Chains A and B, each alone.
Chain A
Amino acid sequence: QQTISGTVYDSDGAPLPGASVVVKGTTTGTQTDFDGNYSISAASDATLVFSYVGFATQEVAVNGQTTIDVTLAEAENQLSEVVVTGYSTQTRGDITGSISSVDVSEATKAPIVNAAEALQGRVTGVTVVNNGNPGAAPKINIRGFGTSNNTNPLYIIDGVQTDNPSVLNSINPNDIAQFNVLKDGAAAIYGARASNGVVIITTKSGGYNMSKPVISVDLYTGFSQATNIPELLNAQQHGDMLFQSAANDGVAAFSHPQYGSGANAVVPTTLNGYTRVVSYNPIVRGPASASVTPGGTDWLDAILDTAPTQSGSISIQNGNETGKYLMSASFLNRDGIQRTTGFKQGITRLNSEFKLNEYITIGEHLSASFSNTVNGNQVNGALRSSPLIPVFDDEGRFAGTGGAGGLGNARSPVAQLERGADNFNKLFRVFGDVYLSAKIFDGFTAKTTISGNIESFDSRSFQALDPEHGEPLGTNTLTEQSINNYNWTWTNTVNYNKTFGDHSINALAGIEAVKEGSKGNSISVDGFLFETPDFYLLENGTGTPNVGFAFDGSNSLFSIFGTANYSYQGKYFATVTVRNDKSSRFLGDNQSQTFPSFSAGWLLSDEDFFPSDGFLNRAKIKASWGELGNQTLPANNPTVNISALSLNLANYAINGSTIATGAILRDVGNPNLKWETSVTTNVGFELGMLDNKLSLEFEYFNIETDDLITRDFSLISSTAIDASAPFVNLGTVKNTGFDLALGFNDQSDSGFAYGISANISAYKNEVTELISDFQTGASFRPGTLTRTEVGRPISSFYGLNITGFDANGRFTYEDLNGDNTINAEDRQFIGSPHPDFTFGLNLNASYKGFDISAFFNGSQGNDIYNYEKIFTDFPTFVNGNRSVRVLDSWTPTNTNAILPALSLGGTGETAPSTYFVEDGSFIRLRNLQIGYTLPSNVTDKIGMDNLRVYVQGSNLFTITDYEGFDPEIITNDNLTLGVDSNIFPQARIITLGVNLKL
């Protein structure tokens, strides 16, 4: 035996306090002190194992040395990485549940706005659909659709708990240390809020005893632009289309107010009969002139813009013996690809921790952010606008439909966007926690954490006058909204962590209280004399104020929980978790429920019989079972009926002149409501091959969600009172599937390093029980498009099956019931929005100072209901524009067409049918980045530790047969999945950036 001492550093050269040093194969171990120093006794031929949260474990042979200094590298999915699993931590290799981690440094290479974008395609079993509208939260879904209600996972950001994905806008991606996803029974520690999975984010917090502050600066600038823009008709094609439609309808001597009454459409040089409002109250129109743009206006081009984006971020980390901190500040500007839209945000964060003495540590995480979003989505308006209307009239004012005929009635999409430029949606958010932890005695730690999240939302929307429009507004209106949300959580835990010989125990027990509240209102006033932002105050309107809504509500949760991890000889692992939650949202016996989970693992490769020199280095099998709950609802009191006064809907002038106050039943309650419970089973294995260069992880899962919560629109059906339908326990949905992740990393002697990681996830969704025969999704112009029924996946498309064309070029449909009439009874299931599988592929390589990474993701086998086609392919708005697809409409000489014969309207062919169902499969190059890191001898001279420059492209190309704007469809109602309706398309983003470390 000899004594070995030394210091453990991180890759920045800062000492690592609290790092674990263990003599391999023994239970002898110690931790580094405040200065990163350690001292341990070991045999001269022993091997020391160094490990620390978030860092790769390193083994060093003693070989008779007495001083061993070690620099630990930040872990990249290494087995020995210490993973934050909620209230406690676990070493990755010991995990028996399904926990995936995001490679944060790789994922944050793309210029992301919302940290959840980092999950996209990088974590098995997690589906992320981005919203192209900058600042809007993406939709996240873990392992299929187990709920028809809210699929948002629970987010744990340091100590803060929330299921509001917008909070991830308020995190600077550069501050993230770890990003882990609990997908199975492992999430049971979060009980009633865990059934959609739990995403745990920990932020960086500096290190004790650092030799100097580490300053990181990250900057990028670039631009976004629209891609895959649908092609619309030009003016002549548009006119020809109308004339052909009239001819097909048998209209002799067709006359169009703009295209004339000759044999063929003639594009006018100026709009015929164009007028605009010249005075208000009463509205008087006067003649005006607007010249038609040669070829017609391309309205999509008119609303789309190349949009700049910039971001800057700085962080400083430092620490001495008794304290450490991280301070960061960042700014982001992301203009939207539609004119005037965009998102701006500033965030600052301070994380710090102090050791009061040997036993007590206190610390905090605090983030404050401010953002402003300018919304607007005029894609639909651009599709509906006639190409004859110019953007501006001859006097340079916005042009519109005016009083002229034959131009439809769409409001100018450009004017709508430009007039909304001074609108805002400001969000001020502060969140964070303070904690105190105390080592009570050997192995026992107690911790108390109080966390909170406060959001203050303030929006202004000014509806300006639109004198160029054919249906002009009589007055302008200012609407202001203010909403305040808060939540707090108080968590108290005791942790016991001890190793006795071959036995190792890590146990935790805790109690927790959560409260969430929200209060808000909306007020509008009309009659503003001036349309300048200086004047936009509610008191400056001449009209009477109108309260649009007002609400105030809260809910709470009280929980007791415990978990114990046990391992024997580092080969056999078992975990038991139990949590009891009591929720204010439910009544009586339904208020409280206990959620248990069990898991076990066996590290096969550590057994003596396992060949140690084979192709396979590591093999582990694992299994888990657990019950998880979902109590998240967009209602605070879903169990009771709520009546409300309503100016708009309940009041009535019963005496003929003055308004009497009335009330209506607004929400139907369900006293029997109880939580959704998901029973999840997960089995899997992990393999390491070729000296662990090649890794494979496979997991099979079966999740059965009972008592699915959703609003029951069949209970409060069309023959019911006009109240919001109650939340009910609708039935049972089963998701089975698998997640497969493959990784290969290698480095040649010459310094060429490369890696491939790929993942595939698949789920099969089936509704196995339902309280009604079926449930329909949201209603659109031609009615509902989706239907949920036992034996089928949730939200399947439902409509008529097109069989071809008849002799007049009209669609023919399958006569399902053979009654020779085509009607609603001939509808059938015509597609599913659920993919066969989704995948991600990450390729990266580096050589000398150069690095390159490419990231693809995609989806295979899902259908999309392209609802936009009712506007672009059919005469829903006769004078609106159409897709160039209509050029391939049926004629007697073109019977093999894609569209039926053109018509001026009323063919009924926009009814839900197979025409609108398209294959939504795609593969997309989500991110490509090429970087160069300057050699250290250069950076040293300029006083920097590190300097890297890069050029980056997002969404560079997409391979898809889908004909809409974007195959990534965000739908927020889970009974209406996969319907493409007026989405804000995603942008291609090109940026140039620099990462500096001082």
Chain B
Amino acid sequence: VGALSDEAVQNEAGVDLLLIGAYSTLDGRRNNGAGNGFAQTGDNWWLDVLTDDAHKGSTDDDQADLFEMERINWDASNPYILGRWSSIFAGINRSNAVIALINTIEGADLTGKLAEARFLRGHFNFELQRMYGNVPYISDENYANTEFNQPNPGPIWDQIEADFQFAIDNLPDSQADVGRPSSWTAKAYQGKVHLQQSEWDQASTLFTDVINNGPYALNGEFFDNFSAGGENSAESVFAIQFTADAAQSPNGNIGGVLNFPNPGPFGSCCGFYQPSQDLVNAFQTEDGTGLPLLDTFNQTDVFNDYNTDSFEPAPDPLPDDYVPVPTPYTPHTGPLDPRLDYTVGRRGINYNGYGRHVGQAWIRATAADISGPYLPSKNVYRSGEEGTNQGTGAWGQQHSGINYNIIRYADVLLMAAEAAVEKSSPDLAAALDYVNQVRNRAKNMTYVETTDADGNVINTPNYQIEPYPAFADQAFARKAVRHERRLELGMEGHRLFDLRRWGNAVATMNAFYINEARTITEGNYSTKFNTFEAKHDLLPIPVDAIDLSGGVLNQNTGF
């Protein structure tokens, strides 16, 4: 009673229902949860933890499985590896369910819906491909025949490209619902798929088309990409439509529920996803030129409050009207890119509009942990938007409604710049133009302002940012483009795949472990990390997946 049989959904209404069901897996949440629940996330936050952008956060023993991932102690049975894997396959097969269903319905033109489903399948397969490398391809025919155990001989790029090509050819140029992809979305995504394979010429063609002819533009304000007010603006190419509705917000960002200060300015939990010192250092600019320190940013550290108490010891007995007295602290005074303080929360600076970051009292990790002194910013609701973005209910209060941009226009510009630099006939002028569009927006946006209780501005950081005057050569342009991605897109879940694409993960990560130990001095930081090896450019295939496949799946080399 009350359940939908196959016959009941075999019509256009059924297609709509199952298609929404497929979109719903964009957030990573699946039925019959497998592996770690926080790993089942659509925003790829914990994949940043595997890079030099972020630490797991909180104390070392909290979500110890992710601690093992961060310190490059990867075991194929780690539930994080299974969690993301299984949530991706839920998405692939919910898309397959729609495709297989449309194939059985006659007398209705459902090409547009089919294109949406294939776009989604392309997205999920792309995630799968770039995370795990040697992956099985489950087609809609496999789905219809219940043949889910397919071998994983190698990459499935061709199938991914075919899905996006179908989407390009069959999606409308614009959609009434902001959550649905248009043909422009598909073109941008197809460009990203080519880019990840270093197919620069094809990527460049697609990005150029999107930039020149598509409907997208940069927002005036950088932070609109991370706020309720700026959701689905011209800069948003494709986003997960998180919504903090009532009743524990099942459509909020449940996979990201840990990633709020603990306790922080609004009593949240759980202190995860802390930006690294390395990322913060990258925002240093050269005094006067306002340009990034491409080669030298890690030779000096942005000053921080690591291992510093927020407040003076409280008197004993405690007076009734006691107000904690902050310990003396002066934030870093060197020149910085203003995007830093929309990306990272640090002591002394206005944190997402909640007033001055008090430092350690908002950080759950202690000096003994590997997590450092910073808070994430982009995924945290901005002051005044709690009503819109904050969920309700026990452990639902952090089911954030902030959209996650899978692709935003600044990303398109920077991917286009990268393709322009790398393509068979490099176009450094175009690359410079794209990078400077991004930098100029940052330059002209509203900077973070920290005020005291009376509204007087205090602690104005030394923000300096300017466009590049020129790219001297391809090597410089490459360096500049890559660095700009980190500044613009840091803490947005892209970094791991950038490093993999650039092939420099081994060198970058092993240097990072050493550099980071310079500021995280107490927790025997460097002794906790294993060496990052070439095999770590792919996640292992989960042991449970191999077991359940009856041994059809093979493990990636080295695991």
B6–A640 contact, CB under 8 A? yes
B281 within 8 A of A: no
A723–B32 contact, CB under 8 A? yes
Instruction: Kindly list chain A residues whose C-beta atoms are within 8 Å of the C-beta of B241.
Output: 652-656
CA distance A713 to B241 in the complex (A): 31
Q: Which of B1, B18, B547 has the most CB of A within 10 A?
A: B547
Find A477's partner among B179, B246, B393 (CB 8 Å cutoff). B393
CA distance A702 to B210 in the complex (A): 72
CA distance A654 to B177 in the complex (A): 6
A552 within 8 A of B: yes
- The B-contacting residues of A in range 628-646, CB under 8 angstroms, are 637, 640-646
Rounded to whole Å, the gap between the CB of A779 and the closest CB of chain B is 6
CA distance A285 to B362 in the complex (A): 11
CA distance A713 to B1 in the complex (A): 25
CA distance A651 to B232 in the complex (A): 19
Instruction: Kindly list chain B residues whose C-beta atoms are within 8 Å of the C-beta of A254.
Output: 368, 524
A904 within 8 A of B: yes
A652–B394 contact, CB under 8 A? no
Given the contacts A284-B263, A403-B263, A527-B392, A471 and B178 also touching, CB distance less than 8 Å: no
- The A-contacting residues of B in range 387-445, CB under 8 angstroms, are 392-398, 403
B250–A651 contact, CB under 8 A? yes
- Tell me which of A803-811, A870-878, A924-932 binds B: A870-878
- Where chain A touches its partner, the secondary structure class is loop
Residues of B within 8 A of A (CB-CB), count: 107
Rounded to whole Å, the gap between the CB of B348 and the closest CB of chain A is 21
Instruction: Kindly list chain A residues whose C-beta atoms are within 8 Å of the C-beta of B96.
Output: 721
CA distance A527 to B61 in the complex (A): 31
B251–A653 contact, CB under 8 A? yes
Given the contacts A255-B522, A717-B548, A723 and B17 also touching, CB distance less than 8 Å: no
Instruction: Kindly list chain B residues whose C-beta atoms are within 8 Å of the C-beta of A663.
Output: 4, 9, 14, 17-18, 20-21
A409–B62 contact, CB under 8 A? yes
Interface 0/1 of B267-295, CB less than 8 Å to A: 11110000000000000000000000000
- The A-contacting residues of B in range 524-559, CB under 8 angstroms, are 524, 527, 542-551, 553, 555, 559
Instruction: Kindly list chain B residues whose C-beta atoms are within 8 Å of the C-beta of A589.
Output: none
CA distance A663 to B16 in the complex (A): 9
A847 within 8 A of B: no
B465 within 8 A of A: no
Find B136's partner among A475, A719, A781 (CB 8 Å cutoff). A719
Find B94's partner among A472, A722, A824 (CB 8 Å cutoff). A722
B314–A645 contact, CB under 8 A? no
CA distance A277 to B263 in the complex (A): 10
Given the contacts A652-B26, A713-B548, A283 and B149 also touching, CB distance less than 8 Å: no
Q: Which of B60, B77, B397 has the most CB of A within 10 A?
A: B77
Rounded to whole Å, the gap between the CB of B424 and the closest CB of chain A is 37
Find B180's partner among A287, A473, A654 (CB 8 Å cutoff). A654
B115 within 8 A of A: no
A591 within 8 A of B: no
Find A544's partner among B24, B89, B246 (CB 8 Å cutoff). B246
B20–A650 contact, CB under 8 A? yes
CA distance A526 to B247 in the complex (A): 8
B89–A283 contact, CB under 8 A? no
B77–A782 contact, CB under 8 A? yes
A664–B94 contact, CB under 8 A? yes
B392–A543 contact, CB under 8 A? yes
B205 within 8 A of A: no
B505 within 8 A of A: no
- Tell me which of A761-769, A770-778, A987-995 binds B: A770-778
- The B-contacting residues of A in range 536-591, CB under 8 angstroms, are 543-546, 550-554
Instruction: Kindly list chain A residues whose C-beta atoms are within 8 Å of the C-beta of B522.
Output: 255
CA distance A876 to B298 in the complex (A): 35
CA distance A365 to B246 in the complex (A): 50
Given the contacts A653-B243, A714-B149, A911-B75, A662 and B67 also touching, CB distance less than 8 Å: no
CA distance A716 to B148 in the complex (A): 7
B355 within 8 A of A: no
Instruction: Kindly list chain A residues whose C-beta atoms are within 8 Å of the C-beta of B339.
Output: none
- B178's nearest neighbour on chain A, judged by CB, is A656
B85 within 8 A of A: yes
Rounded to whole Å, the gap between the CB of A862 and the closest CB of chain B is 24
A477–B97 contact, CB under 8 A? no
CA distance A792 to B79 in the complex (A): 28
Find B90's partner among A256, A651, A722 (CB 8 Å cutoff). A722
Rounded to whole Å, the gap between the CB of B171 and the closest CB of chain A is 15
CA distance A553 to B59 in the complex (A): 47
B302 within 8 A of A: no
CA distance A554 to B3 in the complex (A): 13
Given the contacts A640-B6, A906-B73, A718 and B60 also touching, CB distance less than 8 Å: no
B263–A285 contact, CB under 8 A? yes
- The A-contacting residues of B in range 25-41, CB under 8 angstroms, are 25-26, 29-32, 34
B178–A473 contact, CB under 8 A? no
Instruction: Kindly list chain A residues whose C-beta atoms are within 8 Å of the C-beta of B60.
Output: 878, 904-905
Other 4 A-B pairs with CB < 8 A, given A250-B527, A663-B14, A718-B82? A654-B23, A663-B17, A721-B89, A787-B547
A residues in contact (CB < 8 Å) with B: 249-252, 254-257, 277, 280-285, 287, 403, 405-406, 408-409, 463, 470-477, 524, 526-527, 543-546, 550-554, 637, 640-657, 659-666, 668, 713-724, 772-774, 776, 779, 781-784, 787, 823-825, 875-879, 904-906, 908, 911
- Report 16 cross-chain contacts, Cβ distance below 8 Å, ordered by A residue: A285-B267, A475-B394, A643-B14, A649-B21, A649-B30, A650-B20, A651-B250, A656-B243, A656-B403, A718-B544, A719-B148, A719-B150, A719-B549, A721-B148, A772-B550, A779-B34
B residues in contact (CB < 8 Å) with A: 1-6, 8-9, 14, 17-26, 29-32, 34, 59-62, 64, 67-68, 71, 73, 75-77, 79, 82, 85-86, 89-90, 93-94, 96-97, 136, 138, 143, 146, 148-150, 176-180, 231-232, 241-243, 245-248, 250-251, 262-263, 265-270, 314, 318, 364, 366-368, 392-398, 403, 522, 524, 527, 542-551, 553, 555, 559
